[in-house]
Amino acid sequence: MQRPRRIGVLVHPTRNLDVPLRLLREWTDDNGIEVVQIVASYPQRPVAAEGEAADCDLIVSIGGDGTTLAALRAGAVVDCPVLGIGCGSLGALANVTVGDVGRALERFSRGDWHARTFPALSIARPDGDTLFALNDLSVVRGGGGQVRLTALVDGTLFVQMAGDGAVVSTPIGTSGYAISAGGPLFLPQVDGFVFTPLPHHGGFAPPLVIAATSELVIEIAGGFAGARVEVDGQVAGVGEGALTITFRPAVATQVSFADQEPLLAGLRRRQILLDSPRLRAEADRDSVNPGAES
């Protein structure tokens, strides 16, 4: 595999990025590679001359999972892989440490990496405009009052509900908004998506796991404050009418390495997954008194 000719960067707007940017510049200067800052809707501060993702051989995100998600969205449109550098704490997407910037770039150049592909949700709207979500789609109330939703799967009614709204997540998206709302956690290799209701007024509507081959339709009727549609955490317009949601495999590509930690290990390290307090207390006690009885 040839070394990249041009690398695009997408950066967090507020974090201190001096060290990872210096390491990136040192490696690219040593190898005669141009660095540009890709144009994206994600807020950034200027760190390089502007360039287009379509003209890059690799996009490097520097920040956290949100920054990497924005880079993956930009890369998906032009079929460009993304390398996620975590500044602060490693996440599910920003999976390379600052100290490993040069090594990760060198491994990419040698072809010592594998493509981690992400599916997306294709979202058809009444106006004919189609969106895509790599993480999740949220339909939420626009202010006071409730949003009324009707959810149908392959034409069959699942639920009618009035409340705060709902989240529809891809497998990687289930580790964010969806589990905070009580939804299930998907492992990355699972094909499918999940509809997770937010708090609602009465009735019963559990999170629903939907097959990759199925179609979800959400009919929206906002209260007096209306409804809002958010795609990957960004406002995507006013919610009204019906949204038709389908699963699209392998939409975005991330640079990954065989020695990186699995998703579950990362969620445990970040204490998103937590053991029972009783078992943690017993483990702490046993570490102090190894011979103590239960």
* Residuewise pLDDT in 10s, the chain (294 residues): 568 999 999 999 999 999 999 999 999 999 999 999 999 888 999 999 999 999 999 999 999 999 999 999 999 999 999 999 998 766 789 989 999 999 999 999 999 999 999 999 999 998 778 999 999 999 998 877 889 999 999 999 999 999 999 999 999 999 988 998 999 999 988 999 999 999 898 999 999 999 999 999 999 987 777 889 999 989 888 777 899 999 999 999 999 999 988 889 988 988 889 999 999 898 888 877 766 554
The boundaries of every CATH 3.40.50.10330 domain in the chain are: 6-113+257-275
3-class DSSP assignment, residue 164: coil
Tell me the catalytic residues: 65
Cβ neighbour number for residue 175 with a 10 Å cutoff: 27
Q: Which residues of 102-114 are buried (b: 16+ CB within 10 A; e: fewer)?
A: eebbebbbeeebe
Fold designation for 120-249: Tumour Suppressor Smad4 (2.60.200)
**Distance of alpha carbon 257 from its chain centroid, rounded?**
18
Look up the CATH superfamily of 6-113+257-275: Probable inorganic polyphosphate/atp-NAD kinase; domain 1 (3.40.50.10330)
